[in-house]
């Protein structure tokens, strides 16, 4: 087990009707003027927008707002938010939505107290030294941004999708009401499920030995996610299944499941090039890339995949044919992704085979010529993985 730091200071307020506590929570955390950031019209249709505004008014908390956050949040909206936030002298940022709204809200919170270009943080030219406090009301369980230090933004003009993280951007509080996720279309529900499973895979596929406790916690969470996902496919309004997905998405990315081990994050890197080029839903891209990546690196540590297959995917133990058992697990993962309506090949996901060189070009800009921790890979390996993912 490696040395580690675990720090997840966010107050998670979870359950039915919890969004009604937002005013009181903001007040307790000292907010006087709140910058509210959200996505499209769905929070207005659902009534959540009205609930939030009413709660703020009850507590006499001033606010300005900016909607329009989209999947794969873009820099231009962040610039607009920073400008608005500075002009209004807001002292708190509240994101209402999924990972996109939260990720751009974090960028705005850091950018509002920075004199330079906020992209410096994503470009590794600057480190976040101060930021407005952030809080969230989660409506799409997926990115885990409600409990993480991370934010990912796309620089539209250059097609670059990049992430950065700072403990200063961990939300002060996050409100998670599973009922708010019941109206999510199955596509977005499924893409979120793939995303949170991928957050666990990036940690589970580790070369660090003797982290058996986190191995088991990862496995327990993966099994629970898949079980709940299958219930939601049948009954979208299953509260308990929605609640399981919501909490699993949070613990998949607040650090709980990564303690004591080297993490990878290369597959997220491979996927970011897809999202940037095609504006592909992140979870759909991951559903394509993870099985291909797993097959490509399988022989690096057959035992690891054997454990995953037998403990999570229910493949019967067979010590004489470990590689076959390991491969069967990856097949079952693909079948599960199909079952919940996700693509599992680049072809099905709407990519073009001729674009692979373009993907490698931006990959090189973002990751260099060599990358990956679980297995050190080159651009040529990446090309082979994209090709393996083709059909």
Binding site for its own copies (CB under 8 A): 1-16, 18, 209-210, 212-213, 216-217, 219-221, 223-224, 227, 239-240, 243-244, 247-248, 251, 256, 259-260
- Could you give the CA distance from residue 140 to residue 181 in angstroms, rounded to a whole number? 6
Task: Find the shortest distance in angstroms from Cβ 16 to its own copies.
Answer: 6
Residues 6+ apart with CB under 8 A from 140: 97, 98, 99, 181, 184, 188, 192
Residues 6+ apart with CB under 8 A from 165: 148, 149, 150, 151
- Give Cα separations from 365 to 160, 206, 207, 269 (angstroms): 9, 25, 26, 11
Tokens standing for residue 206? 């580790």
Burial of 238 (0-12, 13-18, 19+ CB in 10 A): middle
Q: Can you tell me whether residue 242 is helix, strand or coil?
A: helix
- Could you give the CA distance from residue 382 to residue 384 in angstroms, rounded to a whole number? 5
C-beta contacts of 295-300 below 8 A and 24+ residues apart? 295/327, 295/330, 295/388, 296/381, 296/384, 296/385, 296/388, 297/205, 297/374, 297/375, 298/323, 298/326, 298/327, 298/330, 299/323, 300/374, 300/375
Instruction: Please list the residues that pair with 63 across neighbouring strands.
Output: 34
- Could you give the CA distance from residue 31 to residue 10 in angstroms, rounded to a whole number? 16
Of 2 and 123, the one with the shorter C-beta distance to its own copies is 2
DSSP assignment string, 194-217: HHHHHHHHHHHS------HHHHHH
Q: How far is CA 109 from the centre of its chain?
A: 19
Task: Find the shortest distance in angstroms from Cβ 214 to its own copies.
Answer: 8
What single-letter DSSP state applies at residue 341?
T
What single-letter DSSP state applies at residue 33?
E
Of 62 and 220, the one with the shorter C-beta distance to its own copies is 220
Task: Find the shortest distance in angstroms from Cβ 239 to its own copies.
Answer: 8
């Amino acid at each position: 087990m490696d040395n580690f730091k675990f720090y997840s200071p966010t107050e998670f307020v979870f359950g039915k009707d919890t969004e009604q506590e937002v005013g009181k929570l903001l007040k307790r955390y000292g907010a006087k003027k709140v910058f509210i950031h959200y996505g499209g019209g769905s929070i207005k249709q659902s009534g959540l927008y009205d609930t939030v505004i009413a709660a703020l008014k009850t507590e006499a908390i001033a606010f300005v707002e900016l909607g329009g956050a989209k999947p794969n949040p873009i820099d231009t909206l962040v610039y607009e938010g920073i400008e608005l936030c500075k002009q209004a002298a807001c002292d708190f940022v509240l994101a209402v939505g999924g990972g996109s709204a939260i990720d751009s809200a974090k960028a705005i919170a850091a950018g509002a107290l920075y004199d330079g270009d906020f992209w410096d943080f994503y470009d590794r030219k600057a480190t976040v030294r101060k930021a407005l406090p952030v809080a969230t009301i989660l409506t799409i369980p997926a990115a885990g941004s409600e409990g993480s230090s991370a934010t990912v933004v796309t620089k539209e003009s250059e097609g670059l999708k990049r992430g950065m993280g700072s403990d200063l951007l961990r939300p002060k509080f996050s409100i998670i009401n599973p009922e708010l996720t019941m109206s999510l279309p199955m596509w977005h529900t499924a893409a979120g499920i793939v995303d949170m499973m991928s957050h666990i895979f990036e940690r589970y596929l580790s070369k660090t030995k003797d982290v058996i406790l986190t191995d088991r916690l990862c496995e327990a969470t993966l099994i629970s996610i898949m079980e709940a996902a299958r219930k939601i496919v049948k009954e979208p309004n299953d509260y308990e299944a929605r609640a399981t997905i919501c909490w699993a998405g949070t613990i998949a990315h607040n650090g709980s499941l990564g303690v004591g081990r080297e993490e990878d994050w290369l597959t997220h890197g491979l996927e970011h090039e897809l999202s940037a080029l095609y504006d592909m839903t992140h979870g759909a891209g991951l559903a394509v890339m993870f099985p291909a990546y797993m097959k490509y690196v399988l022989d690096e540590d057959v035992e690891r995949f054997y454990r995953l297959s037998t403990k999570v995917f229910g493949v019967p133990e067979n010590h004489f044919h470990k590689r076959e058992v390991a491969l069967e697990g990856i097949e079952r993962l693909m079948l599960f992704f199909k079952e919940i309506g996700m693509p599992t090949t680049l072809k099905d996901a709407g990519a073009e085979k001729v674009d692979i060189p373009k993907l490698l070009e931006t990959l090189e800009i973002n990751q260099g010529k060599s990358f990956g921790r679980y297995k050190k890979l080159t651009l040529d390996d990446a090309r082979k993985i994209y090709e393996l993912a083709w059909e």
